[in-house]
C-alpha cells in the first residue's frame, strides 16, 4: 500500500517557536463519501490556494495538494460538500512553511436535524397536517377563518368525529377552542385559514420551518483557515477524499503484412488513462499522478454532533461524611514526572523538516523512504518523494513509489469541472507473437486468434481493455490484467474460423501392483488417460502456431510429451505448429496411481485365490494369505473348544438346579434322595474337570491369537 508523505496536523496555538512538542503524524490515505466541491471565490481579504497536485488511486480515493502564498495574517476559505466534511476532518493537513502558524481551522457545526427542530417551541419534524400541528398548539391563541366567519380562541385540543355524508361514514377533525363566549368546536375541514395570534409562537414556527428548509438547501460548507504571521509566506494544504477510480485503456497495433524489413516489426502498445473531474472546481495546470495502490480507507461521521444520553440519577440523601485526604501512589507520581519530562523535551520543528525535504539539494537521509503516495507539485511538500523514473514516448513518467507503481504525467493537466479526460500515459513498441489459443473446456471447435505480448517497456500495465488492430484494420477487443515489467500475457481478440479443432479422450484403468505391508493388502491402481487434439488449418496462405491449454490435475503426472512448453498454476500449454492447408495432432498422456488398503484378516481364501488367478498378487502373497488363514483357523478351533466346554458346564448346571428343586420334597431316608445326592456328587466332579479344560482352552486360544496377530502385524510380502 502506498503511503502519502509524512505531514503534520498543526493544532491551534502551536507556532514554530513554541516550546511544546509538535506531534508528527503519517497522513493516512482515507476515502470520503462524496465528490469534492470547492469554489475559488471567497470573502474580501481571503486568499485562494489553487490545487497544485492530485494523485488518484485505483482504490477510489484521491489525494489533493494546494500550495500558495499568503501575506501577513490571512484567512483562507475552502468550500466542501456538506457530506464531504467528514473526510476533511479526518485527513486535512495545514502547514505554514515560512515561520508562520496555523491559528485555527473553523467550520460550521452540524447538529442533528431532529435535535435542532426539537429546540423550537413547535416541533415540525412530525407535523404534516393541520390536525397534527394543532395538537402541539394546545394553550396557544389562534384565529381560524371558516365559511361562517372568523373564530378566535385558545386551543384546548383536537378530536375526530364520525359523521354521515351521503350515506357514507367519514371521520372529520374538530378543534376545540376556549373563546370569550365559552367553548366552541370548529371543523377543520371547513377552515380555510388559521393564524397564530401569539407573535412569539408564530416566530418560532417560522424559524422551525426555516431550519428545515436550510437543512435541505445546505449543500456546501466553508472551512476557514486562519494563518498568523508576518510577510509573504508559503502555505501547504492537503486532504484526501473519495474520487472515481481512474481507468486504463490500451490500443495494440500488430504489424501488417506490408511492413518492410527495415522497420520495427514489433507490435506497438498505446496506453491511455481515463480520469474524471467530478468536483466543482476546474483543474487548471495541476500535476497529476496515477497510482495503482489500494490504501485502506473508511468513512467516519466526525462532522455531525453526537450527544450521549446521560442517566437520570436521583439526588442522594445521606448522613454527612467527614472529608478524607488520599495519598498519591507511586504510579501517579511517576506519571507526573513523565509529564514534566515531556514538557521539557526538545521541540520537533515539522515545518523546518518539511522545507528541508522539499529542498532540491536535500541529503538522502532527509527524504522519505515510505514513498510518495501523493502527487508532486514540483516545489511543494511532497515534491521529493519520487524515485528513479523511466520515460516512454508518451507524456507520462512511471515510477515505483513505496510498494506501488505510479504514473506521473510530465506536463500539467487541465480538466474542467464535471468533465472527464483521456490522457496518454504509454506509447512504445513491445515484444509480441501471433498465436492461436485452444482450450477444449471452452466447448468450441475453433481456437481463438490471439497474441502473446511481453511487457518489454519496463513499465507496469494496469488492468483494462485493449483494442487490437491488425495493420490498419480493427481486429477485435481483449482485456488484460495487471502485467509487471518483463512479464508476458496471452490476449485473445477474435475466433480463428480458419482452424478447426477436435478432441478425443481414451481413459483406461488397470491394477498394476499388490503387496502386503504390515498386515494390510495394498492394492495400487494405475490410471492412464490419453487426449488427442487434431487441428486442421484451412488457411492455404499462412501457417498457425497454436497454444493448446490443458488442465493440470492434482496427483496426475505428465507422460507424453515429457514436459510442456509453459506451465501456469492450473494449466499446461503445448505449442503445435500447423502448416498452411495441413493438419497436426497433439497427443497428451497423463498417469495417476490410486491406492487402496484391505486388512489381511478381512480377505477370505476364495478372494485371495481369485486375486492370484487374475495375476493381481504373487505366489508369495498367496502363500502368506494361506498361512494367515491357517493361524486364523487355529484360533477358531480354540474358540470352538471353549464354546463346547462351556455348553457342557451350562447343561450340568441346569440339571443341578432341577435336582435341587426336586430334592426338597423327598424324605432323606428314601432311596431317591440318596440317588440324587450321588448324582450331584458326580456332577460336581465333572464340573471341576470341565472348568480345568476351559481354562486350558482359554489360555491356548490366547496363545494362538497372539501368534496370529504377530504374524499379521509383521507381515510384508511383495
Q: Using alpha carbons only, what angle is made at residue 622 by residues 619 and 625, rounded to the nearest 5 degrees?
A: 155
Task: Check: CB of residue 269 under 8 Å from CB of residue 459.
Answer: no
Q: Is the pLDDT of residue 3 over 70?
A: no
Top pLDDT among 683 and 275 is at 275
Q: What is the DSSP letter of 321?
A: -
Assign 3-class secondary structure to 115-146.
HHHHCCCCCCCCCCCHHHHHHHCCCCEEEEEE
% of the chain exceeding 90 in pLDDT: 26
pLDDT, residue 28, reads: 27
pLDDT, residue 252, reads: 94
Task: Check: CB of residue 140 under 8 Å from CB of residue 198.
Answer: yes
Q: Is the pLDDT of residue 56 over 90?
A: yes
Q: Is the pLDDT of residue 513 over 90?
A: no
pLDDT band at 402 (very low <50, low <70, confident <90, very high): low
Nearest Cα to 140, choosing from 189, 211, 202, 209?
A: 202
Top pLDDT among 591 and 352 is at 591
Tens digits of residue pLDDT in 634-680: 888 888 988 998 999 899 889 888 888 888 788 888 888 888 888 88
pLDDT, residue 348, reads: 37
Count of Cβ atoms closer than 10 Å to residue 93 Cβ: 20
Pairing between β-strand 431-439 and β-strand 448-454 as defined by DSSP bridges: antiparallel
Q: Which of 77-81, 88-92, 575-579 has the lowest mean pLDDT?
A: 77-81
Q: Is the pLDDT of residue 125 over 90?
A: no
Q: Is the pLDDT of residue 306 over 90?
A: no
Q: How far is CA 249 from CA 6, 270, 465, in A?
A: 33, 8, 5
Q: Is the pLDDT of residue 191 over 70?
A: yes
* CA atoms within 13 A of residue 48's CA, in its CB half-sphere: 11
Cell of 537: 488449418
Q: What is the DSSP letter of 310?
A: P
- Asked whether the bond before 561 is cis by omega within 30 degrees of 0, the reply is yes
Where are the extended beta strands (E) located within 484-582?
Answer: 488-495, 499-517, 520-537, 544-551, 557-560, 566-567, 571-578
Q: Which of 176-190, 201-215, 307-321 has the lowest mean pLDDT?
A: 307-321
Tens digits of residue pLDDT in 405-432: 888 998 999 999 989 999 999 888 999 9
Q: Is the pLDDT of residue 326 over 60?
A: no
pLDDT, residue 512, reads: 65
Q: What is the CATH number of domain 113-160+173-217?
A: 2.30.30.100
Q: Is the pLDDT of residue 209 over 60?
A: yes
Q: What is the pTM of this model?
A: 0.58
Q: Is the pLDDT of residue 682 over 60?
A: yes
Task: Check: CB of residue 653 under 8 Å from CB of residue 683.
Answer: no
How many angstroms separate the CA atoms of 362 and 353, rounded? Answer: 10
Assign 3-class secondary structure to 181-229.
CEEEEEEHHHCCEEEECCHHHHHHHHHHHHHHHHHHHCCEEEEEEEEEC
Q: Is the pLDDT of residue 204 over 70?
A: yes
Q: Which residues contact 452 (CB under 8 A, 6 or more apart)?
A: 432, 433, 435, 488, 489, 490, 491, 547
Nearest Cα to 602, choosing from 641, 563, 632, 638?
A: 632
Q: What is the DSSP letter of 246?
A: P
Task: Check: CB of residue 535 under 8 Å from CB of residue 578.
Answer: yes
Mean pLDDT score, 13-33? 28
Q: Is the pLDDT of residue 119 over 70?
A: no
Tens digits of residue pLDDT in 441-453: 888 899 999 999 9
The packing angle between helices 671-713 and 619-663, to 10°, is 160
Top pLDDT among 393 and 162 is at 162
How many angstroms separate the CA atoms of 364 and 565, rounded? Answer: 46
Question: Domain residue spans in the chain?
Answer: 1-112+220-243+284-306+338-386, 113-160+173-217, 245-277+408-497, 499-602, 615-713
Cα end-to-end distance, the chain, whole Å:
59
SS3 category, 299: coil
Q: Is the pLDDT of residue 24 over 50?
A: no
Mean pLDDT score of the chain = 77
How many angstroms separate the CA atoms of 93 and 8, rounded? Answer: 6
Q: Is the pLDDT of residue 55 over 90?
A: yes
Residue 321 φ/ψ, nearest 5 degrees:
-120, 135
Q: What is the DSSP letter of 717?
A: B
How many angstroms separate the CA atoms of 386 and 398, rounded? Answer: 10
Q: How far is CA 367 from CA 31, 355, 356, 357, 359, in A?
A: 26, 11, 9, 6, 10
Mean pLDDT score, 297-325? 69
Q: Is the pLDDT of residue 466 over 60?
A: yes
**Exposed, middle or buried, 467 (CB in 10 Å: 0-12/13-18/19+)?**
middle
* CA atoms within 13 A of residue 382's CA, in its CB half-sphere: 34
Task: Check: CB of residue 8 under 8 Å from CB of residue 350.
Answer: yes
Best mean pLDDT range from 11-20, 447-456, 602-611: 447-456
Best mean pLDDT range from 119-133, 414-428, 589-603, 672-686: 414-428
Nearest Cα to 405, choosing from 389, 381, 419, 429?
A: 389
pLDDT, residue 357, reads: 36
How many angstroms separate the CA atoms of 258 and 126, rounded? Answer: 77
Q: Which residues contact 135 (CB under 8 A, 6 or more apart)?
A: 157, 158
Task: Check: CB of residue 271 under 8 Å from CB of residue 253.
Answer: no
How many angstroms separate the CA atoms of 125 and 212, rounded? Answer: 8
pLDDT, residue 382, reads: 33
pLDDT, residue 264, reads: 61
Mean pLDDT score, 83-93? 87
Q: Which residues of 5-20 are buried (b: 16+ CB within 10 A; e: fewer)?
A: bbbbbbeeebbbeeee
**Exposed, middle or buried, 494 (CB in 10 Å: 0-12/13-18/19+)?**
middle
Which H/E stretch holds residue 24?
Answer: none
How many angstroms separate the CA atoms of 84 and 563, rounded? Answer: 58
pLDDT, residue 571, reads: 92
Q: Using alpha carbons only, what angle is made at residue 693 by residues 692 and 696, rounded to the nearest 5 degrees?
A: 90
Cell 473531474 found at: 277
Q: Which residues contact 687 (CB under 8 A, 6 or more apart)?
A: 649, 652, 653
Tens digits of residue pLDDT in 379-398: 333 333 222 322 334 567 76
Which H/E stretch holds residue 624?
Answer: helix 619-663
Amino acid at each position: 500500500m502506498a503511503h502519502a508523505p509524512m505531514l503534520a496536523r498543526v493544532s491551534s496555538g502551536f507556532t514554530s517557536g513554541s516550546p511544546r512538542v509538535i506531534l508528527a503524524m503519517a497522513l493516512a490515505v482515507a476515502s470520503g463519501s462524496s465528490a469534492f466541491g470547492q469554489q475559488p471565490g471567497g470573502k474580501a481579504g481571503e486568499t485562494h490556494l489553487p490545487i497544485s497536485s492530485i494523485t488518484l488511486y485505483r482504490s477510489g480515493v484521491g489525494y489533493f495538494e494546494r500550495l500558495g502564498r499568503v501575506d501577513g495574517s490571512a484567512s483562507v476559505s475552502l468550500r466542501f460538500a456538506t457530506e464531504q466534511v467528514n473526510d476533511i476532518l479526518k485527513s486535512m493537513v495545514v502547514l505554514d512553511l515560512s515561520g508562520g502558524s496555523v491559528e485555527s481551522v473553523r467550520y460550521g457545526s452540524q447538529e442533528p436535524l431532529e435535535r435542532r427542530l426539537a429546540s423550537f417551541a413547535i416541533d415540525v419534524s412530525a407535523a404534516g397536517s393541520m390536525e397534527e400541528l394543532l395538537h402541539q398548539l394546545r394553550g396557544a391563541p389562534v384565529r381560524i377563518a371558516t365559511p361562517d366567519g372568523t373564530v378566535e380562541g385558545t386551543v384546548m385540543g383536537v378530536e375526530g368525529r364520525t359523521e354521515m355524508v351521503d350515506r357514507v361514514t367519514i371521520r372529520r377533525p374538530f378543534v376545540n377552542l376556549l373563546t370569550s363566549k365559552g367553548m366552541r368546536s370548529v371543523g377543520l375541514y371547513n377552515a380555510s385559514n388559521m393564524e397564530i395570534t401569539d407573535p412569539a409562537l408564530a416566530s418560532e414556527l417560522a424559524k422551525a420551518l426555516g431550519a428545515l428548509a436550510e437543512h435541505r438547501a445546505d449543500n456546501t460548507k466553508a472551512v476557514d483557515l486562519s494563518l498568523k504571521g508576518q510577510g509573504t509566506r508559503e502555505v501547504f494544504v492537503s486532504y484526501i477524499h473519495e474520487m472515481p477510480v481512474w481507468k486504463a485503456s490500451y490500443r495494440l497495433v500488430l504489424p501488417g503484412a506490408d511492413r518492410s524489413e527495415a522497420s520495427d516489426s514489433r507490435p506497438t502498445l498505446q496506453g491511455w488513462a481515463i480520469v474524471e473531474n467530478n468536483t466543482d472546481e476546474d483543474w487548471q495546470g495541476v500535476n497529476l499522478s496515477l497510482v495503482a495502490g489500494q490504501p485502506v480507507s473508511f468513512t467516519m461521521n466526525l462532522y455531525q454532533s453526537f450527544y450521549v444520553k446521560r442517566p437520570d440519577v436521583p439526588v442522594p440523601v445521606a448522613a454527612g461524611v467527614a472529608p478524607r485526604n488520599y495519598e498519591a501512589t507511586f504510579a501517579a507520581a511517576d506519571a507526573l514526572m513523565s509529564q514534566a519530562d515531556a514538557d521539557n523535551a526538545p521541540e520537533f520543528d515539522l515545518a523546518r523538516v518539511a522545507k528541508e525535504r522539499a529542498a532540491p539539494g536535500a541529503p538522502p537521509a532527509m527524504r522519505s523512504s515510505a514513498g510518495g503516495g501523493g502527487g508532486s507539485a514540483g516545489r511543494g511538500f511532497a515534491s521529493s518523494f519520487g524515485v528513479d523514473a523511466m520515460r516512454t514516448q508518451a507524456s507520462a513518467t512511471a515510477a515505483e513509489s513505496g510498494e506501488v507503481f505510479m504514473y506521473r504525467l510530465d506536463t500539467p493537466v487541465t480538466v474542467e469541472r464535471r468533465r472527464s479526460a483521456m490522457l496518454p500515459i504509454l506509447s512504445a513498441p513491445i515484444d509480441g507473437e501471433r498465436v492461436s489459443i485452444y482450450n477444449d473446456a471452452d466447448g468450441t471447435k475453433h481456437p481463438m486468434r490471439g497474441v502473446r505480448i511481453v511487457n518489454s517497456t519496463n513499465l507496469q500495465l494496469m488492468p483494462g481493455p485493449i483494442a487490437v488492430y491488425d495493420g490498419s484494420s480493427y481486429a477485435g477487443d481483449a482485456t488484460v490484467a495487471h502485467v509487471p515489467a518483463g512479464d508476458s500475457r496471452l490476449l485473445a481478440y477474435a475466433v480463428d474460423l480458419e482452424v478447426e479443432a477436435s478432441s478425443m479422450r481414451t481413459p483406461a484403468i488397470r491394477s498394476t501392483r499388490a503387496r502386503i505391508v504390515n498386515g494390510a493388502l495394498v492394492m495400487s491402481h494405475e490410471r492412464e488417460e490419453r487426449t488427442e487434439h487434431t487441428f486442421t488449418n484451412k488457411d492455404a496462405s499462412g501457417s498457425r502456431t497454436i497454444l493448446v491449454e490443458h488442465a493440470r490435475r492434482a496427483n496426475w503426472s505428465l507422460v507424453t510429451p515429457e514436459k510442456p512448453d509453459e506451465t501456469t498454476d492450473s494449466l499446461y500449454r503445448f505449442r503445435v505448429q500447423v502448416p498452411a492447408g495441413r493438419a497436426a495432432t497433439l497427443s497428451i498422456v497423463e498417469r495417476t496411481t490410486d491406492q487402496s488398503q484391505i486388512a489381511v484378516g478381512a480377505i477370505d481364501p476364495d478372494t485371495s485365490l481369485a486375486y492370484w488367478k487374475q495375476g493381481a498378487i504373487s505366489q508369495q502373497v498367496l502363500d502368506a494369505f494361506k498361512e494367515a488363514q491357517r493361524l486364523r483357523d487355529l484360533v477358531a478351533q480354540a474358540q470352538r473348544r471353549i464354546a463346547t466346554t462351556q455348553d457342557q458346564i451350562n447343561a450340568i448346571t441346569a440339571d443341578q438346579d432341577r435336582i435341587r428343586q426336586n430334592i426338597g420334597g423327598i424324605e432323606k431316608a428314601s432311596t431317591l434322595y440318596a440317588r440324587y445326592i450321588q448324582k450331584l456328587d458326580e456332577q460336581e466332579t465333572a464340573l471341576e474337570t470341565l472348568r480345568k479344560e476351559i481354562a486350558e482352552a482359554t489360555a491356548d486360544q490366547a496363545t494362538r491369537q497372539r501368534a496370529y496377530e504377530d504374524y499379521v502385524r509383521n507381515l510384508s510380502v511383495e
